[in-house]
Structure 1
């Protein structure tokens, strides 16, 4: 039996050393065992020279290059197999690690895993770079296509409602509010009848009304001359008639809220004086006045009053600076509700003429109706639209001034002007598309073009700044691709920010921000 000597392994005094070798497949790392200086060195396992093949015929063995070297004390040191490896110039990464920084033994590492942090920026920049290249290669397509698209979508403004009335309660109160549910409960148990038994205190919703606030030029209006002038004003208001398209007329007596057979008086004390002109206005008790066995509640009908001593169920009303006239109209029935609103609209149109015709000398009159808030909101669109022209002119001037350069090459005034025009086209296209698909137009949305204009101008300045950083020697396609690539992240961030801002408004419970259709009343 032949004795086989076991292969030496790394002993307790050996050190492992990592050596990098270049091969055809790439850099590889090998482990070498390094003994202490007193023990000498041994070649690592697995790298010993293989057995010599049989000597071929030819020159004597002593003259061949592979002839065995003499052994003995005079023999030169035997070359190692590792010496046959072609020597390569060592780079910084190929230099052996110093002794004091020798790493611990580790497995063979053939691949390095790297963490890519541009997983979003890289694809985004490449997509924008491709888009910029296409814009530079086909400029007329990207110039004419937006104009044609804007012209097509802009036809949606034909569906813009002009005379449609907005319900402010539906638009500016939360959807699904508990107050609305409680009001429905009250309406189901405490009904009202505007045509026979009207009571303002039983109303759970706002009724159609017209309110006149009469203020006396003197210290008090509790005198017959002032009451005569107020009575003249009351008669002129009740004589208003609205001419309809079919030739009929709407009179106040047809649409007024009634208590039994009579219209609800606009002011109980004024009505009592009109019935009895001999009524002593200097002996009126407040807040309750007993007239012919019927108590009159004057609370809310007089202002700036001064009270005296006790009188009956109240106190003596010495002076009153102002008086209010309330004209309640029918609201419950849809047909009467529409007629009441037509009468109120006519009242608002003719009220100035009424004051001029009466030539009031003792009193000053101001008016307010249940439609006043709504009409003021609708009038906002008329006042805002002229502001669009001024806003666009100012922003164009600012953009042109900011991009003006004395160098004709770096001057970008035309680019700035077209950037503002591009934002205008976006506003027309977006609004036209929403009107085409039936989204109702809410008057508060009239302010959004200013926000869209600001966002569009910001992106324009970002792209102009990126254009100034491109090389003049490059062609248009390459410069456009570089501009879009550099501005990709900035434009995306600003766009996402604005989308989130508008989405926050959509999540609101207010209908005017949600852009939801208004429920139809039955």
Structure 2
């Protein structure tokens, strides 16, 4: 019984030693990748740059794949209003040649102008029914209708296109904001002299009624509730003597001349008056406002990049203490790592946007926020890997130091990147297009950041390690001056650095295996035969040896110390 318990204990220890935990497996994989990355550092440095240039071709599709429709971007795909709008559009379709205001629910080519007198501190807004203000409003309306044009080049000829060329009409007549004339005194409506003066006056008095909220022009109702603002009523019939604001509306076609109509509306929005103040709204007001907010992020992105570069650069500076005088160590300091730490997420952002646009996905200004998140993730990974590098033994070879750096930082950067990708990946399956687009672009940016951290950034670390091992200045790439040889303050501050490690110090006997396998010796009593060796263990060792031999063949140029390290990682 005692022997049986000893054998069971030995088998449990054997199974424990041969088992590989997930954490240990990740460390080993990244350790081996560090050795390979050092050998192929040139390819890993160039490939991400070329790959990013290739994917950036997708930016040529950004204009045609940009959507600025807030109704599509900010409402769920399965929202009930989409079905309801389709029903309304089906029963009340838009006919640009038989247009009647308020009849259709599906027209977008419009611009509304709210005109009001300039505000006075003591008196407030003046009465828009004053002759001076109505005359100015009529002048502006006439100018917009007949004089405000945009140039169009067609078949090599230049044309001036105005409102009367673009307007939606009824019986070939445009809507010219005739309510301005109705608000004027009756003497301004027409010339009442002559034999028809009395008849015309009777028609105006009996057939035209300027009342709020509904007025009449013969049998045609005029809804003044949508045309004037804040009226002061004088009787129960709805007559008024004060109006704070007047609305002008211009409806233009969208089907075949939508691009020209858009240019015309933009030109109207830039028109001003010295007497009146305007508040303008058109169907692109909300999309353009959102785009302006997104465009305002561009200078902030530059400021963010500058601050991050300064912070990363300072964090990569190593101070050298020579007889109580502290100065930057221009051998162990690594500003190249700081620059690569910012350049890496920038490559990832370009690759992500280019690849997604190349696949035909839509773009909206809301995704301009994602680069800030990608930069944060990339800079965080840079700090982790830089700190892991400085914790390695400088007496080891560069390949070994790089392998240990990746092995130590593996879990941190992998868990961070994978959880971020998982979070944004789940967001891609939501029904809200704005969330879908934002999560898709951020997911791709995070994935490319993780990929480029293991390739481009690792290659830069390999080169920086080579410069450090050779004692080269990080800026001039020439041998740094020994602190004892610095005879001026300038040399002490900007030229000194640590001495390079001697090659004879980088020996394999300095490399201690990460862990040793305990040896358990079990002696069997007389008459008891030894149990046969566990075939599963032998098989697992042979498989590991085969994998090891494959890596050794790939790493044939590395020194013996790195091979010993790779061998001991499988023991």
| Fold equivalence (TM over 0.5) | yes
* Counterpart check, 1:345 vs 2:253: no
* Counterpart check, 1:134 vs 2:36: yes
* Counterpart check, 1:360 vs 2:271: no
CA contact (8 A) 1:286 1:316 kept: yes
CA contact (8 A) 1:155 1:432 kept: yes
Which sections of structure 1, spanning at least 5 residues, go unmatched? Answer: 1-17, 22-26, 30-107, 518-522
Give the superposition deviation at 1:238: 0.6
**CA distance in 2: counterparts of 1:340 and 1:428, whole angstroms:** 32
1:325 is paired with a residue whose SS is strand
CA contact (8 A) 2:67 2:364 kept: no
- Picking from 152, 166, 185, the partner of 1:244 is 152
**CA distance in 2: counterparts of 1:388 and 1:235, whole angstroms:** 45
**CA distance in 2: counterparts of 1:296 and 1:262, whole angstroms:** 17
The structure whose Rg is larger is: 1
**CA distance in 1: counterparts of 2:91 and 2:40, whole angstroms:** 70
* Counterpart check, 1:194 vs 2:96: yes
Q: Which residue of 1 aligns with 2:253?
A: 330
**CA distance in 1: counterparts of 2:182 and 2:373, whole angstroms:** 54
1:244 is paired with a residue whose SS is strand
CA contact (8 A) 1:308 1:317 kept: yes
- Picking from 225, 248, 273, the partner of 1:299 is 225
* Gap change, CA 1:194 and 1:252, over 3 Å in 2: same
* Gap change, CA 1:276 and 1:255, over 3 Å in 2: farther
* Gap change, CA 1:422 and 1:191, over 3 Å in 2: closer
Q: Which residue of 2 aligns with 1:308?
A: 234
**CA distance in 2: counterparts of 1:189 and 1:370, whole angstroms:** 22
**CA distance in 2: counterparts of 1:178 and 1:249, whole angstroms:** 43
Cα deviation digits, residues 32-90 of structure 1 (max 9, x gap): xxxxxxxxxxxxxxxxxxxxxxxxxxxxxxxxxxxxxxxxxxxxxxxxxxxxxxxxxxx
Aligned counterparts, 1:222-241, within 5 A: 222-239=129-146, 240-241=148-149
- Picking from 442, 463, 474, the partner of 2:364 is 442
CA contact (8 A) 1:159 1:435 kept: yes
Give the superposition deviation at 1:461: 0.7
Give the superposition deviation at 1:293: 4.9
Q: Which residue of 2 aligns with 1:121?
A: 23
2:373 is paired with a residue whose SS is helix
Give the superposition deviation at 1:495: 0.6
* Counterpart check, 1:289 vs 2:215: yes
Q: Which residue of 2 aligns with 1:46?
A: none
CA contact (8 A) 1:462 1:490 kept: yes
- Picking from 208, 211, 214, the partner of 2:112 is 211
1:318 is paired with a residue whose SS is strand
Q: Which residue of 2 aligns with 1:88?
A: none
CA contact (8 A) 1:344 1:369 kept: no
CA contact (8 A) 2:145 2:176 kept: no
2:369 is paired with a residue whose SS is helix
Higher relative contact order (Cα pairs below 8 Å, separated by 6+ residues): 2
CA contact (8 A) 2:128 2:134 kept: yes
CA contact (8 A) 1:267 1:325 kept: no
Aligned counterparts, 1:335-484, within 5 A: 335=256, 339-349=257-267, 351-352=269-270, 354-355=271-272, 360-361=274-275, 363-379=276-292, 382-407=295-320, 408=329, 411-484=333-406
Which sections of structure 2, spanning at least 5 residues, go unmatched? Answer: 119-124, 190-203, 321-328, 441-571
- Which stretch shows the higher mean deviation, 231-240 or 372-381? 372-381
Aligned counterparts, 1:37-52, within 5 A: none
* Gap change, CA 1:428 and 1:293, over 3 Å in 2: closer
**How much is the aligned-residue C-alpha RMSD, in angstroms?**
3.1
* Counterpart check, 1:485 vs 2:407: yes
Give the superposition deviation at 1:300: 1.9
2:239 is paired with a residue whose SS is strand
* Gap change, CA 1:28 and 1:447, over 3 Å in 2: closer
2:235 is paired with a residue whose SS is strand
Cα deviation digits, residues 334-354 of structure 1 (max 9, x gap): 21xxx24423423323553x4
**CA distance in 2: counterparts of 1:150 and 1:126, whole angstroms:** 29
Question: What is the number of equivalent residue pairs in this alignment?
Answer: 401
Q: Which residue of 2 aligns with 1:19?
A: 2
TM-score (norm 2): 0.63
Cα deviation digits, residues 201-227 of structure 1 (max 9, x gap): x33235311111111235311122221
TM-score (norm 1): 0.69
**CA distance in 2: counterparts of 1:267 and 1:175, whole angstroms:** 41
Q: Which residue of 2 aligns with 1:69?
A: none
**CA distance in 1: counterparts of 2:223 and 2:402, whole angstroms:** 78
